[in-house]
Structure 1
Amino acid sequence: MTAIALLTLDARGSGGVLDSARGTVQELLGPVRTFGDWVTGPIRNAWRGVVSFDDVEAENAQLRGQLAEAQASVLRVGELERDRQELLALMGARDVVQAIPRVTARVIDAPVSNFERTIVVDAGRRDGIREGMPVESGDGLIGRVSRADPSWSLVELLTDPNFDAGVRIVRSGDDGLASGRGPGRDLEVSYIELETVVIPGETVVTSGFEGSTFPAGLLVGTVTDVEPDAVRGAQRVTVHPAADLERLRWAQVLLYEPEVPEPVIVDREPDDDPAEAGTVGGES
């Protein structure tokens, strides 16, 4: 009661002795108030936490939703950007080889096992595609059409063991035959002479042999290893494909059909003169 009275008088503007008395009372009550704050502080903080928990949880849920939406947007943008870059690369491929008509198609089916080395694209005979036509991505050659239906085509990848293509090592100009060796393995190029200097990192392109199903100049890959084969009198060159065959999304089919050389007519000796033959026959 004394403290209340002193504080009331102070509020009315009393001074002097009252000020001194107020100070003395505050000094006496200070430790008690401090102890009370120490005891009740955690309780108050815990209560505030309980009261605001629902608000915090709701805010966290909202933030998680916004983060998920942002991540989805980033993935969509990234996917569109990859498509754009791959399509631009495909269009740029026109400058590498002569202006051959092309059909751009989406890859709609990929290998379902390690034994399948084929893909399916959503373009076919109605688009002008025929069996044997080359297929490439924006990075390089990926294979050839092995079957063409009206609306889709089956593409044999160049890593298939049945795949062969005439190639040329750009720096030396030597020609060889590139063959597939199975899934996940590099190509092997045969018939490169022992005297030819082949350096890892060299570019390999299609050679465009006469009658070949591939035109000259399609990028195949780069040399990764060279091993002399004294028995065959040639080198075995390993080539890593330029195209990423595991992540194909788009492809271009080159509407290329090799010119079939005209048959060579062997000269034959002319037949006997019919008149002479008749004469001889008449004489006999």
Structure 2
Amino acid sequence: MATQIFRRPRITLVILILVSISLISVSYKKTPPFITGARGYVRDIVTPIRQGATALVTPIYNTIIGAFDYSSLKATNQKLVNEIAVIRNQRVVDAGAARSLAQLSKQLKIPYVGNIPSTPAQVISVTPTNLQMSVEIDKGTSDGVAIGNPVVSNLGLVGRIIQVSPSSSTVLLLNDPNFSVGVRFGSASQLGLVVGQGGGQKLSVQLVDPGTVLPVGTFMYTSGLSGEIFPAGIPVGSVYKAFTPPGGLQEHVELTPLASLSNLNYVSVLHWLPGVKLP
């Protein structure tokens, strides 16, 4: 019966542990020689078992500690990612503010405006429809804006004011089919009439004599003739295409607007009306 018990590894291990505890207890008393020998024998048996247990437990311990370390590292990394995102967003905001400031500064230094008083304004909404190409700006009658005032960018003519309120205004854009403006071009200051053709279309220049030489890139400016609703010298556009149609009574001329009508941010309202003398 005893032989069968000792053949069972678990029971053998338990008995060895109990024996070792007994031998340890005895070690605090007088140790007979046979006990010393038995204790050494038990040590030889138990030591490999203890080492095996340590080898088994250590990886588990390391795994548990590593899991906590990984969670901590992951949290730290996420914090760094969030901080980097904040810094990047701030850089984007700063860059946007710098661009806006640069655009606004250009509106304050438009060379072709001369001594005409002007008010910078920001485009707050775009309302292009099949019936009207227009934008809303954040300046109105409280800023001296009036119906008929020309609206320009640092590049050229944008449109004119067609509706006002105390704090905002509607600008009819240069490319609207109901928009027209007299222009001059060439060294001989020839005249023409620019008419809008709708969104995404080139401007049409009418009343140009057939056979008129108009190289691509030729600039056209507001004529400023008596009774004209725009002052003279505002850049309008550059020639995109010009040719004489067979049997045509006038030159076919297409003009590219100089102002970026589809990407307006800041503009200037010119406090100018036909027949009104400047202060």
Asked if Structure 1 and Structure 2 have the same fold, meaning a TM-score greater than 0.5 normalized by the shorter chain, the answer is yes
| 2:190 aligned with 1:154 | no
Match of 2:104 in 1: 87
C-alpha distance 203-168 of structure 1, shift in aligned 2 (>3 A): same
C-alpha distance 114-57 of structure 1, shift in aligned 2 (>3 A): farther
Paired amino acid for 1:87? L
Match of 1:237 in 2: 253
Q: How many correspondences in the alignment? A: 222
Paired amino acid for 2:81? R
1:188 counterpart (204, 213, 218): 204
Match of 2:193 in 1: 177
CA offset digits 1:256-276 (Å, max 9, x no partner):
11128xxxxxxxxxxxxxxxx
- Distance in 1 (alpha carbons) for counterparts of 2:178 and 2:98: 35
- Distance in 2 (alpha carbons) for counterparts of 1:64 and 1:96: 49
Q: How far is 1:49 from its partner?
A: 5.2
Q: Secondary structure at the match of 1:107?
A: strand
- Distance in 1 (alpha carbons) for counterparts of 2:97 and 2:130: 28
Q: How far is 1:52 from its partner?
A: 2.8
2:224 counterpart (208, 216, 231): 208
Q: Secondary structure at the match of 1:160?
A: coil
Asked whether the equivalents of residues 106 and 154 of structure 2 are also in contact (C-alpha less than 8 Å), the reply is: yes
C-alpha distance 224-129 of structure 1, shift in aligned 2 (>3 A): same
- Distance in 1 (alpha carbons) for counterparts of 2:194 and 2:75: 62
Identity of aligned residues (%): 33
C-alpha distance 221-112 of structure 1, shift in aligned 2 (>3 A): closer
C-alpha distance 49-138 of structure 1, shift in aligned 2 (>3 A): farther
Q: How far is 1:213 from its partner?
A: 0.7
Query: Where does structure 1 differ by over 6 angstroms across 4 or more consecutive aligned residues?
Result: 42-48
1:126 counterpart (133, 142, 147): 142
Q: How far is 1:45 from its partner?
A: 8.7
Q: How far is 1:97 from its partner?
A: 3.1
- Distance in 1 (alpha carbons) for counterparts of 2:219 and 2:275: 26
- Distance in 2 (alpha carbons) for counterparts of 1:231 and 1:56: 81
Match of 2:157 in 1: 141
C-alpha distance 63-222 of structure 1, shift in aligned 2 (>3 A): farther
1:107 counterpart (101, 123, 128): 123
Q: How far is 1:156 from its partner?
A: 0.3
Asked whether the equivalents of residues 97 and 216 of structure 1 are also in contact (C-alpha less than 8 Å), the reply is: no
Asked whether the equivalents of residues 124 and 130 of structure 1 are also in contact (C-alpha less than 8 Å), the reply is: yes
What TM-score do the two structures reach when normalised by structure 2? 0.71
Paired amino acid for 2:265? R
Q: How far is 1:236 from its partner?
A: 1.8
C-alpha distance 231-210 of structure 1, shift in aligned 2 (>3 A): farther
- Distance in 2 (alpha carbons) for counterparts of 1:44 and 1:148: 76
- Distance in 1 (alpha carbons) for counterparts of 2:245 and 2:231: 29
Q: Could you list the runs of 5+ residues in structure 2 that have no partner in the other structure?
A: 1-58
Paired amino acid for 2:87? A
- Distance in 1 (alpha carbons) for counterparts of 2:95 and 2:168: 27
Q: Secondary structure at the match of 1:183?
A: coil
Q: How far is 1:172 from its partner?
A: 5.5
Match of 1:32 in 2: none
1:54 counterpart (71, 87, 92): 71
1:65 counterpart (82, 102, 105): 82
C-alpha distance 179-50 of structure 1, shift in aligned 2 (>3 A): same
Paired amino acid for 1:91? L
Asked whether the equivalents of residues 115 and 183 of structure 1 are also in contact (C-alpha less than 8 Å), the reply is: no
Asked whether the equivalents of residues 200 and 223 of structure 1 are also in contact (C-alpha less than 8 Å), the reply is: yes
Asked whether the equivalents of residues 211 and 243 of structure 2 are also in contact (C-alpha less than 8 Å), the reply is: no
Asked whether the equivalents of residues 101 and 255 of structure 1 are also in contact (C-alpha less than 8 Å), the reply is: yes
- Distance in 2 (alpha carbons) for counterparts of 1:138 and 1:45: 68
C-alpha distance 54-199 of structure 1, shift in aligned 2 (>3 A): same
RMSD of aligned residue pairs (Cα, Å): 2.7
Q: How far is 1:170 from its partner?
A: 4.5
Task: From the CA coordinates, give the structure whose radius of gyration is larger.
Answer: 2
- Distance in 1 (alpha carbons) for counterparts of 2:235 and 2:125: 24
Match of 1:77 in 2: 94
Match of 1:163 in 2: 179
Q: How far is 1:46 from its partner?
A: 6.5
Asked whether the equivalents of residues 121 and 137 of structure 2 are also in contact (C-alpha less than 8 Å), the reply is: yes
Q: Could you list the runs of 5+ residues in structure 1 that have no partner in the other structure?
A: 1-41, 261-284
